[in-house]
């Protein structure tokens, strides 16, 4: 899929429960923070995620804090062709509970993550391409450009390109 489509779907955290095995719900508190509920074995875990950096169509960097562990992650998007995107996902997981540490020995979290990542690929490939992702920008945990500002800038850039194309096509007189 095109890079914009892949990125836009990734920013729709609330939809992750549609294609992941463990995510039960995600609620976005604001542009940088969200609450996650995940089923792990027989129990449910929750954590708060904070986006540290987010650059549209490039990368999202986040960290999570929960009673049973922390994670630091980065997902980056790389255009290979106009309709083909490579997504690179790196997650560091630091378990703190007995169940989580035992699961970490068996690499259960890594296997789950790989499975969910494949499910994301399938979900995006066969989904409707008209999803609107969050297009704002975050640096050092602070919103430096809101979603609305980003859309206005993209619209203005599109109009400018159309005007340039029109000017090039107009006959000189």
Which CATH number characterizes residue 88's domain?
Answer: 3.30.530.20
* Residue 112 within any structural domain of the chain: yes
* Residue 118 within any structural domain of the chain: yes
The H or E element that residue 121 is part of is helix 108-126
Q: Strand, coil or helix: what is 57? A: coil
**Average of pLDDT values for 75-90?**
97
**Is 79 exposed, middle or buried, given 0-12, 13-18 or 19+ CB atoms closer than 10 A?**
middle
Q: Are 74 and 63 in contact (CB under 8 A)?
A: no
Q: Give the chain's mean pLDDT.
A: 87
Record the tokens describing residue 126, joined without a space. Answer: 């066969």
Alpha-carbon distance 149 to 163, whole Å?
Answer: 21
What is the domain count for the chain?
A: 1
* Residue 48 within any structural domain of the chain: yes
* Residue 66 within any structural domain of the chain: yes
Q: Kindly report the pTM of this predicted structure.
A: 0.83
* Residue 152 within any structural domain of the chain: yes
Kindly report, residue by residue over 136-171, the tens digit of the pLDDT: 999 999 999 999 999 999 888 887 777 777 667 766
Kindly report, residue by residue over 24-62, the tens digit of the pLDDT: 999 999 999 999 998 877 778 889 999 999 999 999 999
Q: Which domain holds residue 129?
A: 3-168
Q: Are 119 and 21 in contact (CB under 8 A)?
A: yes
* Residue 101 within any structural domain of the chain: yes
* Residue 92 within any structural domain of the chain: yes
Please choose, from the candidates 111, 56, 57, the residue with its C-alpha nearest in 3D space to the C-alpha of residue 86.
Answer: 57
* Residue 173 within any structural domain of the chain: no
Q: Are 75 and 87 in contact (CB under 8 A)?
A: yes
């Amino acid at each position: 899929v095109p890079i914009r489509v892949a990125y836009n779907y990734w920013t729709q955290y609330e939809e992750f429960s549609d294609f992941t095995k463990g995510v039960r719900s995600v609620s976005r508190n604001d542009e940088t923070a969200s609450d996650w509920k995940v089923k792990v074995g027989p129990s449910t875990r929750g954590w708060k995620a904070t986006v540290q950096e987010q650059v549209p169509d490039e990368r999202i960097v986040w960290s999570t804090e929960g009673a049973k562990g922390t994670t630091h992650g980065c997902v980056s998007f790389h255009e290979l062709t106009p309709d083909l995107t490579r997504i690179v996902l790196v997650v560091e997981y630091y378990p703190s509970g007995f169940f989580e540490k035992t699961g970490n020995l068996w690499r259960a979290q890594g296997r789950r993550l790989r499975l969910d990542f494949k499910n994301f690929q399938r979900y995006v490939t066969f989904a409707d391409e008209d999803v609107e992702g969050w297009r704002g920008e975050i640096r050092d945990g602070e919103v430096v450009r809101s979603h609305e500002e980003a859309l206005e800038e993209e619209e203005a850039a599109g109009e400018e390109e159309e005007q340039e194309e029109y000017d090039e096509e107009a006959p000189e007189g």
